[in-house]
């Protein structure tokens, strides 16, 4: 049996990410392909990351002639969790082309888990719900033997006699070391490396060390891996790092876990192995302010080669953090930021505006926190209601006209809040420019030992002062609207 894998994240359909040119290979897709290949199936991957559009799959369907098309999105990438409508439409189009050629179509993604009826209406024969490698293996085994009993397969939505049936949820895998290494050889890594070298001057690759997140932030959806947290062993991770370094010569790794190194002692053991193997890594992770302050984690991260930690800071208002059920404090954000800088690690902040009941005072507290702590970088977004979250339940009555963004830079607030949606778009511009101005001022203070560098920073500051003023005036006008 021949199985063709693809996914629905087209970089060209997301203008902001296309301009950044910092793509990561579809890790989840490669894990699933590797699982089937290990079990004897003839598999291939049609990677759409750099494709022009959905129709690019047609010649692959015609040449490979698969019995099954699996649209398997990368559940490790936050961009796919946003369920962008551009990507959804592409998945529908690929499903249709495969069905026209007599393929069975199976889908796994955050969006299809939330909207499985919609995907089956568009041509999918079945949608896998949750962690899907074992589900997929059972489906393909059944199709091969021609004795499939869909009702006995956990984690599946399908139709029978015009009725939609959803089976019980499958338990997540606990032993992640038992998974085969992702099928890196089935994806052409060359264009990824070229994009990174052009845009950034170094080559970054992605790896996952864990699945799931046990924390209960009420706006965070976990349709694939859920609230359970399972981890690969440090030795297993180091083995893959050694393989990727030898095979592809990466300069940098993004560990794309929701939470890196939560298991007690994991980070220290990992750092010991990295030092023992003399890997000389540079990597970035996502973490929480409270977790970073435990067990000398920051020291261990520095030993292992951590270069950048993205903290889910979200807000400078404790009232908003509590409303989000974030479970962290402003004091923890400040202390973890200080310690990261002290150990030579760049702290970066995810910031979220527009949460329910957020006031102008809350917004000002967030801006003040950014300006005082001056993280290495900030990612600013607005609250995005994802199905399956407590936050979504609170605002779903307002989501009649629009429930998904078209691309990751749309930044449209989709529910009624303190201000109109356009205010939050302008707030994004203001905060980014204001942050850059304060960064320039701080760097000028540090740069006088290098006169040329100081001149460059002063030029940046001169640019941002009027930019911030104009953005601030527009923001005030929208506050009064």
Q: What would the pLDDT profile of 140-163 be if each residue is shown by its tens digit?
A: 999 999 989 999 999 999 999 999
Confidence at residue 401, expressed as pLDDT on a 0 to 100 scale: 55
Split at pLDDT 50, 70, 90, the class of 48 is: very high
**Quick check: pTM over 0.85?**
yes
Pick the range with the lowest mean pLDDT from 126-130, 308-312, 446-450: 446-450
Tell me the average pLDDT across 248-273: 96
More confident residue, 472 or 250: 250
Lowest-confidence range among 288-297, 354-363, 380-389, 395-404?
395-404
Confidence category of residue 400, pLDDT binned at 50, 70, 90: low
Segment 193-212 shows an average pLDDT of: 97
Q: What per-residue confidence (pLDDT) applies to 20? A: 95
pLDDT of residue 453: 64
The pLDDT assigned to 329 comes to 98
Tell me what the mean pLDDT of segment 42-49 comes to: 98
Share of the chain above pLDDT 90, in %: 75
Selected residue with higher pLDDT from 280 and 388: 280
* Res 80: pLDDT: 76
pLDDT higher at 243 or 478 = 243
What pLDDT is recorded for position 335?
98
Structure tokens of 251? 């300069």
More reliable by pLDDT, 38 or 404? 38
* Residue 368 clears pLDDT 90, i.e. is over it: yes
* Residue 460 pLDDT: 64
pLDDT at 178: 96
Instruction: Kindly indicate the confidence band of residue 341, based on its pLDDT and cuts at 50, 70 and 90.
Output: very high
Between 395 and 122, residue with greater pLDDT: 122
- Mean pLDDT over 282-304 rounds to 96
Q: Which residue's entry shows tokens 């959905």?
A: 54
Confidence of residue 137 (pLDDT cuts 50, 70, 90): very high
Say what the pLDDT of residue 85 is: 86
pLDDT at 399 over 80: no
In the predicted model, what is the mean pLDDT of residues 363-374? 97
* Per-chain mean pLDDT for the chain: 92
pLDDT, position 395: 82
- In this structure, of 70-79, 230-239, 326-335, 336-345, the range with the lowest mean pLDDT score is 70-79
Give the pLDDT band (50/70/90) at residue 361.
very high
């Amino acid at each position: 049996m021949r199985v063709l894998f693809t996914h629905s994240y087209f970089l060209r359909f997301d203008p902001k990410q296309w301009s950044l040119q910092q793509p990561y290979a579809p890790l989840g897709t490669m894990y699933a392909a590797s699982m089937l290949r290990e079990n004897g199936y003839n598999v291939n991957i049609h990677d759409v990351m750099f494709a022009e559009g959905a129709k690019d799959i047609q010649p692959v369907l015609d040449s490979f002639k698969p019995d099954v098309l699996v649209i398997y999105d990368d559940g490790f990438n936050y961009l796919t969790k946003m369920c962008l409508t551009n990507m959804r439409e592409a998945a529908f189009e690929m499903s249709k082309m495969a069905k026209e050629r007599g393929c069975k179509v199976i889908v796994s993604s955050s969006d299809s888990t939330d909207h499985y009826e919609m995907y089956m209406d568009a041509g999918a024969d079945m949608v896998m719900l949750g962690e899907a490698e074992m589900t997929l293996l059972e489906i393909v085994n059944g199709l091969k033997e021609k004795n499939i009993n869909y009702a006995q397969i956990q984690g599946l939505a399908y139709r029978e006699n015009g009725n939609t049936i959803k089976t019980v949820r499958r338990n997540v895998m606990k032993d992640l070391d038992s998974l085969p290494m992702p099928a890196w050889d089935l994806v052409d890594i060359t264009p990824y490396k070229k994009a990174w070298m052009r845009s950034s001057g170094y080559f970054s690759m992605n790896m996952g060390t864990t699945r799931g997140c046990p924390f209960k932030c009420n706006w965070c959806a976990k349709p694939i891996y859920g609230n359970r947290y399972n981890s690969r062993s440090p030795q297993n991770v180091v083995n893959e790092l050694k393989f990727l370094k030898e095979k592809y010569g990466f300069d940098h790794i993004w560990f794309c876990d929701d939470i890196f190194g939560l298991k007690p002692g994991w980070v220290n053991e990992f750092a010991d192995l990295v030092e023992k193997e003399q890997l000389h890594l540079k990597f970035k992770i996502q973490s929480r302010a409270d977790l970073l302050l435990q067990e000398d984690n920051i020291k261990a991260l520095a030993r292992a080669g951590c270069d950048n930690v993205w903290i889910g800071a979200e807000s400078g208002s404790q009232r908003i953090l509590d409303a989000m059920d974030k479970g962290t404090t402003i004091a923890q954000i400040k202390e973890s930021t200080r310690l990261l800088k002290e150990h030579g690690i760049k702290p970066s902040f995810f910031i979220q505006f527009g949460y329910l009941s957020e006031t102008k005072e809350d917004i000002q507290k967030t801006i003040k926190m950014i300006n005082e702590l001056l993280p290495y970088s900030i990612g600013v977004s607005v609250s995005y209601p994802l199905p399956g979250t407590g936050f979504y339940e609170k605002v779903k009555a307002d989501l009649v006209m629009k429930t998904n963004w078209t691309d990751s830079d749309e930044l449209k607030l989709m529910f009624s809040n303190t201000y109109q949606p356009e205010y939050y778009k302008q707030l994004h511009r203001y905060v980014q420019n204001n942050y850059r101005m304060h960064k320039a001022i701080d760097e000028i203070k540090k740069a006088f030992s290098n006169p040329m560098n100081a001149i460059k920073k002063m030029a940046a500051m001169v640019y941002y002062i009027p930019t911030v003023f104009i953005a601030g005036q527009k923001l005030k006008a929208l506050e009064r609207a």
